[in-house]
Amino acid sequence: MTLRTRFILFAVIIHAVMALIAARLLTTDKVWFVATEALIIVSIFVTINIYRSFVRPLDIISAGIESIRSKDFTVKFLPVGQREVDQLVEVYNTMIDQLRQERTLQAEKHYLLEQLLLASPSGIILLDFDLNIENINPAASRWLNVNLADCKEKPLWVLPNQWGTDLADLTEGQAKLFNVNGIRLFKAQKAHFVDRGFPHYFILIEELTEELVRQEKVAYEKIIRMMSHEVNNSIGAINSILQSFKHYTLQLETDLQPDYENALQVCIDRNTQLANFMGKFAGLVRLPLPHKQTLDLHALLQHAYYLMRPLAEERHISWVWDLAAEPISVQADEQQLEQIIINIIKNAFEAMEQEGQLLIKTIAQPPTLLIEDNGPGIPPEIRQQLFSPFFSTKKNGQGIGLMLIRDILMNHGFPFSLETVADHRTVFTIRFN
């Protein structure tokens, strides 16, 4: 039973009793009867006024509660000229103004946070109170190669590749560096803010690849320039002297002349090889910026096929083609792009045994090239060092092939990856943005 119903019931009972008393006085004392009737009339008038004064604040409170429940903070009340009710109206209006201001401020902060998440070049992963993924900004989604819908409300370890284990092992306040497939270097850090009295964790991911590559290039460019200058100057002088020594061949005994000439030629050839060796490093330093033009990717692949077919036949390697139905146009430097495609195919050949299989696959949207071999795969201990300067697993490797591929693709702005997938198949993927 509501307070309003109880008040009405109380008033009805009181006035019913007074009416019964007046009815008894009608036969015994008419003066008191008239007085009692007047008292009843006055009481009814007073009761109605009290009811109105009592109900009006209840109506205001009820309307205020309903507006708060519906989160409508625009409803305000006007003073009615009654002191108690006007005080209630003033308190309510002040409270509504503060709630509206707080709501507007929170909405502005939330909008600002959303815009910062969207525009941030750093990857941000928001976690809920159970440490499951709540939100991922575009930068993190691009690096992790996942959509929010695929991982929302799921633990970190469901993230693909090594991301899941690396990020799940993070401790708060401690930055961690990790390398993804030997290509890209990232720094991740876990922190929190307080939300509704509880810590709300997030992970900040920053890519250090470009800065690291820039520092690497500054370091090895200085070394290569210095070495190339000294070696080329020495080789030129030494070869000139060796060529002059050949004129003394006829002064030697006949049986000594072949050995003498062979020894000189070996020295000259070795010097020439050393000059070529240094030339390759110098070429890496002098890599020009790409001169981009519209290219037919499929035509470029066919050209690389004709160049590499003799080597494939020699190694008994079969080609498997899975090209998109429509032509794919890319904006790239023709010479540089053809060079990296040949280098990737050559590396795949060297990784495979006899009777290997090479898959060339293209995807139209987004334009993507995949070169896949069925070799033994990349061991985990080597994967992290693949694109490190001058790192090679080959006996006589110089470690500049993958460096050259990395620098050309990064200069073009083409994302790429090199990883071993199912059945030990190794895939080099290039995405043409």
Domain range for 95 is: 3-107
Give the lowest-confidence range in 106-110, 353-357, 395-399.
Answer: 395-399
C-alpha span between 105 and 107 (Å, rounded): 5
Residue scoring higher pLDDT (37 or 349): 349
Reading the block at residue 63, the tokens are 């309307």
Reading the block at residue 200, the tokens are 């709300």
Alpha-helix residue ranges (DSSP H) falling in 120-157: 138-144, 148-151
Q: Residue 269's domain is classified under what CATH number?
A: 1.10.287
pLDDT of 397 higher than 60: no
Is 20 contained in some domain? Answer: yes
pLDDT digits (tens, 9 = 90+) for 238-258: 777 777 777 777 777 777 777
- Are β-strands 123-127 and 416-420 bridged in parallel, bridged antiparallel, or unpaired? unpaired
Identify whether residues 95 and 174 lie together within a single domain: no
Identify whether residues 88 and 130 lie together within a single domain: no
pLDDT of 418 higher than 80: yes
pLDDT digits (tens, 9 = 90+) for 322-371: 999 899 999 998 888 998 898 899 888 888 877 788 999 999 888 999 99
Domain end point (choices 285, 309, 330)? 285
Angstrom distances, CA of residue 431 to CA of 9, 256, 328, 332, 386 = 81, 62, 12, 12, 19
Is 112 contained in some domain? Answer: no
Identify whether residues 179 and 241 lie together within a single domain: no
The pLDDT confidence band at residue 296, using thresholds 50, 70 and 90, is: very high
Is 246 contained in some domain? Answer: yes
Mean pLDDT of 310-328: 89
Is 115 contained in some domain? Answer: no
